[in-house]
A and B are shown apart, each in its own frame.
Chain A
Amino acid sequence: MSQPVIEIEQLAFAWKQGPQVLEVPVFRVDAGERVFLRGPSGSGKSTLLGLIAGVLAPQSGTIRVLGEDMRALSPSKRDRLRADHVGVIFQMFNLVPYLSVTGNVLLPLRFSPARRKAAGGDAEREARRLLARLGLADEGLLARRVSDLSVGQQQRVAAARALIGAPRLIIADEPTSALDADARDRFIALLSEEVTRTGASLLFVSHDASLAPLFTRAVDLAAINKAMVAAGGSA
């Protein structure tokens, strides 16, 4: 089974009246793949992730996420697709400060009945199970304010949140850039393990090329983005 989760053809995007920032002839991620997308800052990776997550719409070309043509979908349909099937992990400050650790993990279930259903009847237990798998089983830790957790712990909570309700695509935008090498490798290992277990695809973006061997496939955004090549690749 190699139904593509992300399928991009001749995709072009420019901010209003700005130059083309993204021009991708072809890019795809298959189901179950763990893809490492290397992109230095300014290479248009945030724009690409915005397009895949459905918060931005391309001017031309095709982008399919889980078989849905994102250009044909209304903004609210794209929002729903993201809510139901995409988990997102940011670089830093991933957590809502006024929610508990489990409250943060359960957040996507508030907006997606589909993921609520997928998480099973006892969502709280599912959240704790995920947290435990990511090495956050300590009750005292779970009771703490999220802002009191270490950055590594926060990122693992964010990973649990992205994973809950079994979304089919996990997008991680530089999730390890604030971690030391040790914590970084552990984080990627845990994330990969969980993604493999649920069968989700992982699109992992980082500027750090040394991470590439930890994934099934590595792609250099600078190489596939013609807009950057045209602009001299500088950023």
Chain B
Amino acid sequence: MTALFSLAWASLLNRKGSVVLTIVAVALSVALFLGVEKARSGAREGFGNTISGTDLIIGAPTGSVNLLLYSVFRMGSATAEVSWPTYEKIASRPDIAWTVPVALGDSHRGYRVMGTTLGYFDHYKYGGGQALTFAGGQPFSDLFDAVIGAEVARELGYTVGTPVVLNHGLGAADLGSGHENRPFRVTGILRPTGTPVDRTVHVSLEAITAIHVGWETGAKNPLADTIPEEMIRSFDLTPKTVTAIFAGLERKGTILTTRRAINTNRGEPLMAIIPGEALAELWNVTSIAERALLAVSAFVIAVGLVSILTSILSSLNERRREMSILRATGARPHHIFVLLVLEAGLVGFLGAVVGIALVHGLIAVLAPILQAQYGVAFSMGAPGLVDLAVLGAVTGASLLIGAVPALAAMRRSLADGLSVRL
């Protein structure tokens, strides 16, 4: 076996050019597959890491995925809101330690605006318990202060002190329908988190009320702009409704009873979801596409393996002489078979190793950049079980595929015997 192994190796070295090309084909296919797989597990992890430390999310009754989408992912919109007295009732429940109300509905140049309390910066956690941190500035303190996420700052080129005009609703800036009469000022910029927080403009709940003075009918009152700022500041700006409530419990053990109590709230109907559960549910929906992607990249590996087959099959004719020399010097047919199977296996193995190295190299180079720029956390570190499994599977499949040219060569060498005419 070792004798044949060194023969196979020497034979591959002799055909360096085509062998290297085949190895590259296999390596690229393996790298694609692993890249998709790493991105997938990274996405899944990042997805699961979007929110943590919050025990319940409470909103008006809707689907749990829908509530999660608009409260955490800032996607879609709430069909109904929660009234302020109901919020206060929940906040004062003895089993609830803290609550952070949020109000959504406005936007700034495509980025959602979220009204909330200062508690948000303390209680909202992501990535397994990491708190939000400021890259610059500080939380909002004045009525017209805004804290922006990392992507908002990067894409719009905002710095601390930049004035910001909000839009009513989610459309693009449209003169007359905006809140241009109430400009905000950026007071803080958050560090990248890889979560929707990066794409959010945070203001105080009172600010949301303030910019909607004069909008009570749902459309802008022509006189709204005439109300001076000082007068607005003197108003009671406690919001009438909030969109959703993030809540933390005193004791985790009560989560199911607390949820049931909220879901069966007398008076205003409410709905409480456990973020982890809803995330898993949402992941199930999105994982179909991601599985399809994985399947496609698995097929790319198959193509890579077929290239091994092609390269060996096409070399057989010119190696006919070599086979009969081997036979004449004592190689039995099974030696010829094993030799070619080993060649295929070696090419597959090397291709997989190069592919794995390629992916890990790329991640090592790109991960810090992605982390800093986008807050996307790639699972770094030494090659893991997935890589080993891919290495094993690709090598095994190449050995199997090698049986095809190996059988052909073996049969032919039997027929040729010692006399190959040239």
Contacts and interface: CB of A to CB of B under 8 A. Distances in A.
Given A56-B417, A79-B332, A96 B422 contact: no
A50 B418 contact: yes
Interface stretch (B34-42, B166-174, B211-219, B318-326): B318-326
B418 A94 contact: no
Interface stretch (B7-15, B150-158, B288-296): B7-15
Interface size class of A (residues with CB under 8 A): 20 to 34
A98 B419 contact: no
Given A93-B422, A98-B13, A55 B329 contact: no
Interface in A75-127: 75-76, 79-80, 82-84, 88, 90, 92-99, 103, 107-108, 110-112, 115
Contacts of A53: 328, 417-418
B332 A76 contact: yes
A111 B331 contact: yes
A35 to B, nearest CB: 18
A97 B329 contact: no
Interface string B370-404: 00000000000000000000000000000000000
Given A94-B325, A95-B325, A111 B335 contact: yes
A49 B418 contact: yes
B312 to A, nearest CB: 15
Contacts of B325: 90, 93-96, 107
Given A46-B419, A83-B332, A88-B418, A110 B327 contact: no
Interface in A148-207: 161, 173
A97 B331 contact: no
A98 B414 CA distance: 22
B332 A55 contact: no
B330 A112 contact: yes
B interface secondary structure, majority: helix
B231 interface: no
Interface string B331-350: 11101000000000000000
Contacts, number: 75
Contacts of A161: 329
A interface secondary structure, majority: helix
Contact of B329 (A46, A88, A173): A88
B10 A93 contact: no
Interface string A204-221: 000000000000000000
Given A110-B3, A111-B329, A50 B335 contact: no
A107 B3 CA distance: 9
Contacts of A88: 328-329, 418
Given A88-B329, A110-B4, A115-B330, 18 more contacts: A46-B418, A46-B419, A50-B418, A53-B417, A56-B417, A76-B332, A79-B327, A79-B333, A83-B329, A83-B332, A93-B325, A107-B326, A110-B3, A111-B3, A111-B329, A111-B335, A161-B329, A173-B419
22 contacts: A46-B419, A49-B418, A50-B417, A50-B419, A76-B332, A79-B330, A80-B332, A82-B328, A83-B331, A88-B329, A96-B322, A96-B326, A97-B14, A97-B322, A99-B7, A107-B325, A107-B326, A110-B330, A110-B331, A111-B331, A112-B330, A161-B329
Interface of A: 46, 49-50, 53, 55-56, 75-76, 79-80, 82-84, 88, 90, 92-99, 103, 107-108, 110-112, 115, 161, 173
